């Protein structure tokens, strides 16, 4: 099966590298010339990647087409391309709903929205999709944890939660910086903070939905360090600010669909 990418940005590159290095994908991959330096780098790294001169070439030669252009470019780019009824199109674009996508992609009706995260390059992280699709889920589960849903309104919750990425990285960097302010070597502080967050996140993947909500309480012994820090943070309103921030992102996504 030949797959193609229209728009070769950061996420498209992460998917291609994950497919190649983790999933062992060796069939043809067609990539658009957009972001040429990245496309060239990929074609030099993997022998099964071909750079196409135009997006039309990508569509003509691909069974599945991944769309990774900017939201305000979707209509202009997609409506000019010769999609077919036999193709599957996976949109990686935030804020453009299935109804509009199918209008731009006509006559293709097999359309999926997906939210890959950068760690997919290493076969890690969630990959939210809407609607559910057995063939794509089997394909994508090789490079991430697929979470599928058929309700597009609820799908926006995944999009909003994905906006936590920058805040997450900043928090780790802040912990590392705090240790450096107290005299710890920058390499040691960064190494410790990164490994700490990675290991704690790993533990959550082993829990059920029910037990996940109890993990915080389980760490808090009366009068202990975890309890003291947790209570201080709660008194600062971090939980409420988290929900308020997510609600803002959700509102933005819902207004653009």
- 50-93 pLDDT, tens per residue? 999 999 999 999 999 999 999 999 999 999 999 999 999 999 99
Residue 128 to residue 144: CA distance in whole angstroms: 10
Mean pLDDT of 141-161: 95
Residue 186 to residue 201: CA distance in whole angstroms: 23
Identify the band that residue 95 occupies on the pLDDT scale cut at 50, 70 and 90: confident
pLDDT for residue 6: 96
CATH number at residue 60: 3.40.50.720
Query: Is 222 domain-assigned?
Result: yes
Query: Is 26 domain-assigned?
Result: yes
122 and 31, same domain (yes or no): yes
Answer yes or no: are the C-beta atoms of 79 and 59 closer than 8 Å: no
> What pLDDT digit, counting tens, does each position of 160-185 carry?
999 999 999 999 999 999 999 999 99
180 and 67, same domain (yes or no): no
> What pLDDT digit, counting tens, does each position of 13-23 carry?
999 999 999 99
**The two three-digit tokens of residue 166, written as one number:** 């920058």
Q: CA 135: distance to chain centroid?
A: 19
Answer yes or no: are the C-beta atoms of 36 and 7 closer than 8 Å: no
Query: Is 249 domain-assigned?
Result: yes
Query: Is 47 domain-assigned?
Result: yes
Answer yes or no: are the C-beta atoms of 125 and 117 closer than 8 Å: yes
Proportion of the chain above pLDDT 70, given as a percent: 100
146 and 227, same domain (yes or no): no
Q: Assign 29 to helix, strand or coil.
A: strand
Q: How many domains does the chain have?
A: 2
Identify the band that residue 34 occupies on the pLDDT scale cut at 50, 70 and 90: confident
Residue 33 pLDDT greater than 90, yes or no: no
**The two three-digit tokens of residue 65, written as one number:** 């087409």
Residues whose CB is less than 8 angstroms from the CB of residue 220 and which lie 6 or more positions away in sequence, other chains included: 226, 227, 230
pLDDT averaged over every residue in the chain? 95
**The two three-digit tokens of residue 211, written as one number:** 């037990």
The domain boundary, picked from 122, 150, 178, lies at: 150
Residue 33 to residue 254: CA distance in whole angstroms: 32
Residue 36 pLDDT greater than 90, yes or no: no
Alpha-carbon distances, residue 243 vs 138, 147, 238 (angstroms):
33, 21, 9
Residue found under tokens 């005299």: 183
Residue 147 pLDDT greater than 80, yes or no: yes
Residue 257 pLDDT greater than 80, yes or no: no
Q: Where are the beta strands (DSSP E) in the chain?
A: 3-6, 29-31, 49-51, 64-67, 88-91, 110-116, 126-130, 145-148
- What is the domain extent for residue 136? 3-150
> What pLDDT digit, counting tens, does each position of 185-232 carry?
999 999 999 999 999 999 999 999 889 989 999 999 999 999 999 999
35 and 104, same domain (yes or no): yes
Query: Is 216 domain-assigned?
Result: yes
**The two three-digit tokens of residue 57, written as one number:** 């070439």
107 and 225, same domain (yes or no): no
Residue 15 to residue 240: CA distance in whole angstroms: 34
120 and 32, same domain (yes or no): yes
């Amino acid at each position: 099966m030949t797959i193609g990418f229209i728009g070769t940005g950061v996420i498209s590159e992460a998917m291609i590298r994950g497919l190649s290095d983790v999933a062992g994908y060796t069939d043809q991959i067609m990539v658009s010339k957009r972001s040429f330096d990245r496309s060239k780098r990929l074609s030099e790294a993997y022998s099964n990647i071909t750079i196409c001169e135009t997006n039309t070439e990508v569509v003509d030669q691909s069974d599945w087409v991944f769309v990774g252009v900017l939201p305000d470019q979707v209509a202009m780019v997609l409506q000019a391309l010769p999609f077919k009824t036999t193709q599957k199109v996976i949109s990686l674009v935030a804020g453009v709903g299935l109804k509009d996508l199918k209008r731009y992609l006509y006559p293709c009706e097999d359309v999926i929205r997906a939210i890959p995260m950068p760690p997919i390059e290493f076969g890690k992280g969630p990959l939210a999709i809407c609607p559910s699709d057995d063939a794509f889920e089997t394909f994508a589960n090789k490079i991430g944890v697929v979470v599928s849903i058929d309700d597009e309104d609820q799908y926006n919750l995944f999009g909003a939660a994905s906006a936590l990425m920058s805040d997450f990285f900043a928090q780790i960097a802040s912990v590392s910086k705090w240790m450096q302010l107290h005299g710890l070597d920058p390499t040691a502080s960064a190494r410790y903070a990164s490994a700490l967050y990675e290991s704690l996140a790993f533990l959550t993947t082993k829990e059920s939905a029910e037990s996940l909500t109890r993990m915080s309480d389980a760490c808090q012994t009366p009068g202990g360090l975890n309890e003291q820090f947790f209570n201080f943070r709660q008194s600062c309103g971090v939980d409420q600010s988290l929900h308020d921030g997510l609600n803002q992102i959700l509102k933005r996504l819902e207004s653009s669909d």
